[in-house]
């Protein structure tokens, strides 16, 4: 009988000092480093980023840090799903060489007072309903990019506004790491994978499909010649309403600037955030894409 493949667990480091030492060895050996920042509770979406980083670099590091700075006071910081043991095994299978899992005090020691704010791109969409969220994201990602000095860092298009914010901060702050945006990984029925899907009851899981189905409905309208934002948005809103899902926003935006559009073209990005019960989910797609 063939034996199961043996996969080495990635090295786990928890302090900046340990991390710098490990990275120095890689650099000395001439390796290109790829970084995948995450908050853990890893799923196939995260693993696709790790595999992508492996295609772009010789050594892959994953950070697992549930960043307190990007959660509002009433959000799910304390109950955010955590599974370090499972995450390490998945990272190993996806080809990661190292996992950095710091304590909050390692990232935000006593006296910490420097923040990064990407001004325009952080306004609106998720920035409107989660004040301070992108300031927290931008601050921690800047720290991670500085700390790792990676050649490439891979982020998901699932968090489309976040991706644009990160591209902007890297450019504005002259951080040389190349930022790569990778496609959304979905469940077979179309639901965008998310660590927060673990919060959904089976009924909510079924109703959560309305996000991707709404986007698909808007795309069908677009393919039929509709370019006005309101009918396209309404197609999504109707689908959410019929599933009892409360929209946070449904917006049609320029994919580069995230500014509102007067008329949709194939690159127009349809972005959705909605509450399924108390769980806030995101989805997005460009209207010209195939299946959302």
Compare residues 81 and 247 and give the one whose CB is closer to ligand AMP. Answer: 81
Does position 284 interact with ligand AMP (CB under 6 A)? The reply is no
Stretch that binds ligand AMP, among 23-31, 92-100, 191-199, 262-270 (CB under 6 A): 191-199
H or E element, residue 154: strand 152-156
Does position 193 interact with ligand AMP (CB under 6 A)? The reply is yes
Among 46, 130, 133, 164, binds ligand AMP (CB under 6 A): 46
Among 90, 130, 143, 158, binds ligand AMP (CB under 6 A): 158
Among 23, 26, 38, 237, binds ligand AMP (CB under 6 A): 38
Minimum CB distance to ligand AMP, residue 155 (Å):
4
The Cα–Cα gap between 260 and 232 comes to 13
The three-state (H, E, C) secondary structure of 61-100, written as one string? EEEECCCHHHCCCCCCCCCCCCCHHHHHHHHHHHCCCEEE
Quick count: other Cβ atoms within 10 Å of Cβ 8?
7
Compare residues 52 and 233 and give the one whose CB is closer to ligand AMP. Answer: 52
Query: Which stretches of 12-73 are DSSP H helices?
Result: 16-28, 44-56
Does position 194 interact with ligand AMP (CB under 6 A)? The reply is yes
The Cα–Cα gap between 85 and 107 comes to 21
Minimum CB distance to ligand AMP, residue 67 (Å):
8
Does position 155 interact with ligand AMP (CB under 6 A)? The reply is yes
Tokens of 245: 């899902």
In the chain, the largest separation of any two C-alpha atoms, in whole Å, equals: 62
Catalytic residue among 28, 31, 43, 46: 46
Contact between 233 and 251 (Cβ < 8 Å):
yes
Q: Per-residue string for binding with ligand AMP, 111-150, x by CB under 6 A?
A: ----------------------------------------
Q: Is 43 a catalytic residue?
A: no
Does position 159 interact with ligand AMP (CB under 6 A)? The reply is yes
Among 19, 175, 185, 216, binds ligand AMP (CB under 6 A): 185
Contact between 153 and 36 (Cβ < 8 Å):
yes
Stretch that binds ligand AMP, among 106-114, 128-136, 138-146, 186-194 (CB under 6 A): 186-194
Q: 73-82 long-range contacts, Cβ below 8 Å, gap at least 24? A: 75/130, 76/196, 76/199, 80/39, 80/41, 80/195, 81/40, 81/41, 81/195, 81/196, 81/198, 82/40, 82/41
Does position 88 interact with ligand AMP (CB under 6 A)? The reply is no
Q: Give the dihedral sign, CA 140/146/147/153.
A: positive
Compare residues 194 and 243 and give the one whose CB is closer to ligand AMP. Answer: 194
Which residue's entry shows tokens 């039929």? 224
Give contact residues for ligand AMP (rule: CB under 6 A).
38-39, 45-46, 48-49, 155-156, 158-159, 182, 184-185, 192-195
Which active-site residues does the annotation give? 46
């Amino acid at each position: 009988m063939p034996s199961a493949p043996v996969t080495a667990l990635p090295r786990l480091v928890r302090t900046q000092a340990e991390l710098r030492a490990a990275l120095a060895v890689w650099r000395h050996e001439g390796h290109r480093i790829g970084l995948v920042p995450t908050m853990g509770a890893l799923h196939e979406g995260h693993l696709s980023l790790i595999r992508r980083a492996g295609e772009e670099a010789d050594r892959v590091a994953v950070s697992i840090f549930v960043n307190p700075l990007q959660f509002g006071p009433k959000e799910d910081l304390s109950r955010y799903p955590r599974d370090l043991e499972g995450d390490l095994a998945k990272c190993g299978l996806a080809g990661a060489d190292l996992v950095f899992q710091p304590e909050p005090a390692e990232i935000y020691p006593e006296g910490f007072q420097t923040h990064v704010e990407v001004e325009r791109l952080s306004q609106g969409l998720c920035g409107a309903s989660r004040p301070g969220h992108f300031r927290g994201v931008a601050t921690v990602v800047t720290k991670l990019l500085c700390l790792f000095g990676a050649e490439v860092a891979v982020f998901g298009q699932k968090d489309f506004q976040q991706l644009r914010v990160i591209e902007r901060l890297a450019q504005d702050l002259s951080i040389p790491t190349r930022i790569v945006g990778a496609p959304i990984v979905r469940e077979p029925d179309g639901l965008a994978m998310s660590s927060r899907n673990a919060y959904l009851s089976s009924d909510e899981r079924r109703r959560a499909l309305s996000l991707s189905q709404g986007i698909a409905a808007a795309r069908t309208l677009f393919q039929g010649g509709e370019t006005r934002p309101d009918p396209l948005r309404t197609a999504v809103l109707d689908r959410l309403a019929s599933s009892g899902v409360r929209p946070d926003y449904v917006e049609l935006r320029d994919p580069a600037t995230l500014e509102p559009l007067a008329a949709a073209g194939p690159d127009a990005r349809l972005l959705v955030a909605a509450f399924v019960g108390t769980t806030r989910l995101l989805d997005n797609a460009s209207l010209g894409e195939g299946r959302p």
